[in-house]
Amino acid sequence: MITAEALTKRYGTTTAVDGLSFTAHPGTVTGFLGPNGAGKSTTMRMVLGLERPTAGSVLVDGQRYADLRAPLRTVGAMLDVRSAHPGRTAFRHLLALARTHGIPRSRVDEVLGLTGLQSVAGRRVKGFSLGMGQRLGIAAALLGDPSTLVLDEPVNGLDPDGVLWIRSLVRDLAAEGRTVFLSSHLMHELALCADRVVVVGRGRLLADASVAELLERSRAAGVVRVRTTVPDRLAPALVRAGAAVAVEPDGALHVRGASLEEVGAVAGEVGATLLELTAEAGSLEAAYLELTGGSVEHRAGSR
């Protein structure tokens, strides 16, 4: 379990993390979502004790990371692909880590197998692709069979196979009762594998909600496109239900402020025959953009 309490990190006058509080619970996958530069990686480095908070605290199973008796057996982390010496082989890198905790060599072979790296275990890391580097990072994270996993952008650079593998891996790890805390800047990625999502922007907490709640919000924020044989009857009914309706040139209605299900229900009430009913693509992303809209550091064409 990871508990952050008013966690704050300042570098000089820049505030990277600003009073962040959240909890990642055992048995769940907690997504950590935010645009680049939102303070996700800084937060994760503070979880791992590589950086000290300016104020507040972050605890793993109720303890500071530096006070853990066997860190690798408690927390497994993948923070950066560049965490292994390029001149060492994958096997050596893992073996050295294992030796700090008296983890047997057989476990090194096991995690190499789990991550599909057996065939390249004897190769030096400098020849690894981004995806192989990610797998090596995950192998290192799993080495101590930890109850908490911290993964920074684990799907970055993976091929579609690897992305599917990570999704099922984190689901399985959580199903075994472990705490999984993983960051991403992609909302739809987290929607596929996370139970809860902690959203940050400019170091501040923007939302801490279940994926279902966020989906609900995104429906409310999104646009539903509906085409019917009787737009004149459906449009006033939708307005009465509290939605905003605009008529498109092709005769379809664009509905804001109502979910897909609500539009369908209203159509049923007034007996309108539907030809098409769709949530406009990207509505999930739209909700995320709305949440983080004020907190993106650089925006294209904002001049």
Partner 1 sequence: MRAPGPSFPRVVHAEWTKLLGLRSTHVVVVATVGLVGFLTHLSSSASAGDPGFVPTRGLADVLPLAFLGVLVLGVVVGAGEHSTGTFRSTFAAVPQRIPVLLAQAVVTAAVALWTGVLSVAAAVLGILPAAASREMTPDLATAGVPGLLLGSGGFLVGAGLLGLAFGALLRRPVPALVAAVVLFLVAPVVLSIAADTGDDPVAVHDPEDPPAATAVVNTVESFTPVGAGAVLTNPGGGGLDGAPDLGAAGSALVLGCWVAVPLTVAAVRLRRRDLV
**Under rule CB under 8 A, how many of the chain's residues touch partner 1?**
36
**Residues 6, 57, 99, 164: which binds partner 1 (CB under 8 A)?**
99
- CA–CA distances in Å: residue 34 to residues 40, 62, 204, 226: 7, 26, 10, 32
Compute the distance between CA of residue 135 and CA of residue 151 in angstroms, rounded to an integer: 11
**DSSP-H helix ranges across the chain:** 40-47, 71-74, 90-100, 105-114, 130-142, 160-175, 187-193, 211-221, 231-240, 260-269, 283-292
Stretch that binds partner 1, among 60-68, 113-121, 176-184, 199-207 (CB under 8 A): 60-68
Q: What's the CA gap between 243 and 266, in Å, rounded?
A: 11
Among 55, 96, 175, 265, binds partner 1 (CB under 8 A): 96
Check: CB of residue 59 under 8 Å from CB of residue 2. yes
For the chain, what's the residue count?
A: 303
From 99-107, 159-167, 172-180, 255-263, give the range in contact with partner 1 by CB under 8 A.
99-107
Specify the residue, 183 or 218, whose C-beta has the smaller distance to partner 1: 183
Q: How far is the CB of 89 from partner 1 (least distance, A)?
A: 7
Q: Which of 34, 35, 71, 162 binds partner 1 (CB under 8 A)?
A: 71
Q: Work out which of 3, 26, 48, 230 binds partner 1, going by CB under 8 A.
A: 48
The reply on whether position 104 binds partner 1 by CB under 8 A is: no
Q: Is 300 in the site for partner 1 (CB under 8 A)?
A: no
Neighbours of 76 (CB within 10 A): 26
Binding footprint of partner 1 on the chain (CB under 8 A): 45, 48-52, 65-66, 68-73, 75, 77, 79-80, 82-89, 92-93, 95-97, 99-102, 140
